[in-house]
Amino acid sequence: MKILLLYPQYPDSFWSFKHALKFISKKAAVPPLGLITVSALLPQSWQKKLIDMNVTLLKDEYILWADYVFISAMYIQKESVNKVINKCENLNTPMVAGGPLFTQEYKNYPQIDYFVLNEAEITLPIFMTDLSAGKAKRVYKTDMYANLDMTPIPDYHLLDMKKYAFMNVQISRGCPFSCDFCEITTLLGHKVRMKSPNQFIEELNALYKLNWRGSVSIVDDNFIGNKKEIKSAYLPKLKQWMRSHKYPFVFNIQSSINLADDKEMLALMAETGFTSTFIGIETPDEVSLNHCNKVQNENRDLLKSVQEIQKAGLQVSGGFIVGFDSDTPSIFQRQIDFIQKSGIVSAMVGLLNAPKNTLLYQRLCAENRLTKESTGNNTDSSMNFIPKMDYDELMLGYKKIIHSIYASKPYYQRVRQLFLNYKHSYNKQKEINFSLFGAFLKSVYVIGIVNKGRMEYWKLLVWTLVKRPKLFIEAITFAVYGYHFRIVYGL
């Protein structure tokens, strides 16, 4: 068999980092981990080609070469998905689809020949058996969750690694929490299922042998979903591996805010090479946190929790939401104040949306308030339901937040606040920093000379050299991020 593994294109968005990646001559932030894992589940004797449309142009010859095109996608890739489907149809190449978008919306894609849904460790072998027997069904889905002991090492060798800023790995699936706007538990369940520490180490070995050095994203929706196991089994083994391999990687994660409660674990993570975490903070308003069942954020000083993580040596990026039913007009300034005081430089502020199959979606459907499907893009100023707050007031307040945190002056002020909070870990992981001289020169020209916020850029660099000289590379990095955010938000 000849299989084309096809990953559709992302639109320009907050997390695409499209405009920032140009400074380091990269095409995409992370590769399609799901597809290269699916590839590893296919027979090794089959021929496989990966086309990630975020880094490579899709040519007709690739589709014509294939016996089947395997497509995986998320909601945000819908526009590109439609183009891919039309192209495959026109070239008469059968399609096999899976991933989050199709698992929830397969009925909306009658053009696709086969759907292998939910977790491929379960459904893909059944499809393969039926296909080889000439009796393949159209839809394969399951209510069961995969045992991750059965998950193979992804086919990282299919990637053109030099085109990516990060590699990505996965330790666990599932989340113990039940935020009403989140679809993770619908897709992956509440029970946190984990690979063994040895499995994870073997994946790192695979990346190491392929000469990857640098940033690795652990893409678990909550890295500390099973905090006891991570602390006792994973981190000690990972720390040992990192030391023996002379710290080839730095790790970033997603976690819940209760990471701040365990200083011993934070210290261990910093020593091991963890440098940043994304946390869904959502809102400083206790009533809204209660209404959306964000129990892990309730009854705590969120600002202090963020600062505890920063002081331990991990930078914090965060997700924030406005548009909860209990939000009042005061929420906009409260969000601005919190973000600025926190030193959360990459603050993704979005309007509340209700993805399919979430508790929020079900409630809004019962209240007849849904208007359309969610786009999956947290920062495109769209909503898929009628909010309680006046819509125009909500839009104005949202735009006020964006301008107030991403205009040059407040943005660079927030970078300085982070540097004041942040205790950088200066161990051997610093050795992995490749030369950023070219990126620095580009930033000087594009941000420091051409860009309208150039004075704030120079003020940050001078302040950093005087007050926090060891954070100069971070200052350049955040200046480039800010440039990307201002373009995305049209500032």
pLDDT in tens, 186-215: 888 889 999 999 999 999 999 999 999 999
Residue 267: which pLDDT band, with cuts at 50, 70 and 90? very high
Is pLDDT at 425 greater than 80 in this prediction?
Answer: no
Q: Which residue has the tokens 């989340």?
A: 175
Q: What is the pLDDT of residue 432?
A: 44
Averaged pLDDT score across all residues of the chain: 93
Q: What is the pLDDT of residue 186?
A: 83
- 3-state DSSP assignment of residue 30: coil
First-to-final CA distance of the chain? 49
Q: What is the pLDDT of residue 429?
A: 44
Is pLDDT at 430 greater than 50 in this prediction?
Answer: no
Residue 165: which pLDDT band, with cuts at 50, 70 and 90? very high
Distance CA 327, CA 385 (A): 15
Distance CA 44, CA 111 (A): 28
- 3-state DSSP assignment of residue 167: strand
Handedness of CA 142, 145, 148, 153 (dihedral sign): positive
The average pLDDT across 316-335 equals 96
Hey, where are the domains in the chain? Answer: 2-140, 166-421, 435-488
Q: What is the pLDDT of residue 380?
A: 79
Domains 2-140 and 166-421 equal at CATH topology level: no
Phi, psi of 14 (to 5 degrees): -55, -50
Is pLDDT at 427 greater than 70 in this prediction?
Answer: no
Let me know: does 41 contact 125? Beta carbons within 8 Å.
Answer: yes
Is pLDDT at 434 greater than 80 in this prediction?
Answer: no
pLDDT in tens, 71-124: 999 999 999 999 999 999 999 999 999 999 999 899 999 999 999 999 999 999
Q: What is the pLDDT of residue 93?
A: 97
Considering only 158-162, 180-184, 260-264, 476-480, which range has the smallest mean pLDDT? 180-184
Tokens found for residue 19? 């405009």
Q: What percent of the chain clears pLDDT 70, i.e. is strictly above it?
A: 98
Residue 225: which pLDDT band, with cuts at 50, 70 and 90? very high
Q: How far is CA 328 from CA 78, 90, 229, 294, 318, in A?
A: 33, 51, 41, 18, 21
Is pLDDT at 436 greater than 50 in this prediction?
Answer: yes
139: left (phi over 0), alpha (psi -120 to 50) or beta: beta
DSSP H or E segment with residue 400: helix 391-406
Q: What is the pLDDT of residue 377?
A: 78
pLDDT in tens, 279-322: 999 999 999 999 999 999 999 999 999 999 999 999 999 999 99
Give the homologous superfamily in CATH for domain 166-421: Aldolase class I (3.20.20.70)
Q: Can you give the pTM of this predicted structure?
A: 0.93
Is pLDDT at 239 greater than 60 in this prediction?
Answer: yes
Residues 6+ apart with CB under 8 A from 330: none
Q: What is the pLDDT of residue 102?
A: 95
DSSP H or E segment with residue 472: helix 472-488
CATH topology of domain 2-140: Rossmann fold (3.40.50)
Residue 435: which pLDDT band, with cuts at 50, 70 and 90? low
Kindly give the interhelix angle for 391-406 and 408-421, rounded to the nearest 10 degrees: 60
Is pLDDT at 470 greater than 80 in this prediction?
Answer: yes
Is pLDDT at 155 greater than 70 in this prediction?
Answer: yes
Q: From the CB of residue 395, how many other CB atoms can be counted at a distance below 10 Å?
A: 16
DSSP H or E segment with residue 51: strand 47-52
The average pLDDT across 225-232 equals 95
Residue 183: which pLDDT band, with cuts at 50, 70 and 90? confident
Strand order in the sheet with 214-218: 167-169, 214-218, 249-255, 274-282, 315-322, 347-351
Q: What is the pLDDT of residue 491?
A: 87
Q: Which residues sit opposite 7 in a β-bridge?
A: 52
Instruction: Count Cβ atoms within 10 A of the Cβ of residue 87 and give its class: 0-12 exposed, 13-18 middle, 19 or more buried.
Output: middle
